[in-house]
Amino acid sequence: MAGLLVILDGLGGRPTDFGGATCLERAAHPNLDELAAQGALGLMDPIAPGIRPGSDTAHLSIFGYDPLKVYTGRGAFEVLGIGMEVRGGDICFRANFATVEERNGQLIVLDRRAGRLEEGKLLEEAVNSVSLRDFGVEMFFRASTEHRGALVLRGEGLSAAVSDTDPHEAGVPVAEARPLEDTEAARRTAQILNAFTRRAYAVLRDHPVNKKRVAEGKLPGNAILLRGAAVMPHLVPVTEIYGIRAACIAGGALYKGVARLAGMEVLSVPGATGDLKTDLRAKAQAALEALRSFDLVFVHIKGTDNAGHDGDAEAKRKFIERVDREFFGTILADLPKGLHLCVSGDHTTPPAVREHTADPVPALFWGPAVRPDRVRTFTERAAGEGGLGRFSGRLLPQLLGYCDFGSKFGA
């Protein structure tokens, strides 16, 4: 027996989205309705009733972790979101390219965003050439959009209890990182960050990219400001908890990152773009293929959330129809024997709101072990009448429970 967990990001909606109906209610989804008729529905609060989830915290909760315990802050999870491979215990920072000027040995910040430079990727290698090995520490830097990036420190005796080197204003020196608790690890980490500030400036100051920008009258990206130190949590991998092999199929880096942290193998699927244009048939084929060798396959589909953030109810409705036809149509045409399936969202993104809301999300379980209810369609309202009632997160433990994975707690 194997389990397939399909998360349609931002799936849920509100009556205000479509003149009295949600996108899911207005969309035709015969395949999902067929699964609903044979399976059972419930309403899931991704974290707890009334909590507006982020995609990161929601996925932790859906996988069975308690985000109130393991979520260490946006800093750590943004690092996952830009696709860096991190490990539990790594110290993560949000980073900015900035423009500084040396005055009396001090680095004065002229622009915290280096004129929103676009050449971050071209400067990435130089930043990564900074060595902190004399401290026994590895450092990884990744540029993302515009002036943004992230930095990871890896090594023994590090702490996230350090203040930012980002002074959060211009016209003042780059801030000295200070320990925020009285520990050797915090003191040492602050010292390492201050060394990093100087060493990064040394490699960026005369970098050809910056020379070119200055020649063009633009602000150089000659310093890195760090903020929001957070430790990457040590999660006990679901593969270990349940003694299974697990795979992830996703377009977005954040989902791949959380899945990797949870012990899943991230599969590469050409055409899985993490947006409305994603190749849903390719993802379904990849899932069917993966189900031959993995006990659990997690598929993340992002487009529903994008349309919600865009405030485009019609795009969300159409995308749901495409998911039903292209993804679930492909799965149902070649259904593996003994498969258990869970379909849900990670939160509600109503086009009428254009943001994540706290509303509960419909969840569908299907497979031989699932006791069917009377609900025959996959919508928010139908889920409210479903036989599985209302629960918080934990879709993955429930799905694996139906598959009889995992050991007893107790005797």
Question: Could you list the residues that contact a second copy (CB under 8 A)?
Answer: 14-16, 22, 40, 42-43, 45, 47-58, 64, 67, 71, 74, 77-78, 81, 350, 353, 355-360, 368-374, 380-381, 384-391, 394, 396-402, 404, 406-411
* Contact (Cβ atoms closer than 8 angstroms) between residue 13 and residue 351: yes
Shortest Å distance, C-beta 80 to a second copy: 10
What is the C-alpha separation between 276 and 4, in angstroms, rounded?
A: 21
Shortest Å distance, C-beta 198 to a second copy: 31
Task: Please give the single-letter amino acid code of residue 313.
Answer: A
Residues in Cβ contact with 396 at an 8 Å cutoff, skipping those fewer than 6 apart: 5, 62, 63, 64, 238, 296, 298, 342
Query: Of the two residues 79 and 192, which places its CB atom closer to a second copy in the complex?
Result: 79
Shortest Å distance, C-beta 43 to a second copy: 5
Query: Of the two residues 115 and 386, which places its CB atom closer to a second copy in the complex?
Result: 386
Tokens of 67: 């985000």
What is the C-alpha separation between 149 and 144, in angstroms, rounded?
A: 5
Shortest Å distance, C-beta 157 to a second copy: 22
DSSP string of 175-215?
Answer: PPP-BSSSSHHHHHHHHHHHHHHHHHHHHHTT-HHHHHHHH
Query: Of the two residues 211 and 354, which places its CB atom closer to a second copy in the complex?
Result: 354
Query: Of the two residues 102 and 240, which places its CB atom closer to a second copy in the complex?
Result: 240
Residues in Cβ contact with 151 at an 8 Å cutoff, skipping those fewer than 6 apart: 92, 93, 95, 139, 140, 141, 142, 196, 224, 226
Closest by CA to 348, choosing from 21, 20, 55, 26, is 55
Shortest Å distance, C-beta 95 to a second copy: 16
- From the CA atom positions of the chain, what is the Rg in Å? 24
Shortest Å distance, C-beta 356 to a second copy: 6
Query: Of the two residues 16 and 191, which places its CB atom closer to a second copy in the complex?
Result: 16
Query: Of the two residues 84 and 130, which places its CB atom closer to a second copy in the complex?
Result: 84
CB neighbourhood size of 316 (10 A): 33
Tokens of 306: 């994008």
Shortest Å distance, C-beta 242 to a second copy: 10
Shortest Å distance, C-beta 362 to a second copy: 10
Query: Of the two residues 42 and 274, which places its CB atom closer to a second copy in the complex?
Result: 42
Shortest Å distance, C-beta 174 to a second copy: 26
Tokens of 74: 């946006």
Write out the E strands in 104-253.
106-111, 138-143, 148-154, 223-231, 246-249
Which residue is listed with tokens 């509303």? 359
How would you classify the pairing of strands 148-154 and 138-143?
antiparallel
Query: Of the two residues 192 and 396, which places its CB atom closer to a second copy in the complex?
Result: 396
Query: Of the two residues 46 and 115, which places its CB atom closer to a second copy in the complex?
Result: 46
Query: Of the two residues 283 and 347, which places its CB atom closer to a second copy in the complex?
Result: 347
What is the C-alpha separation between 315 and 306, in angstroms, rounded?
A: 9
Shortest Å distance, C-beta 118 to a second copy: 24
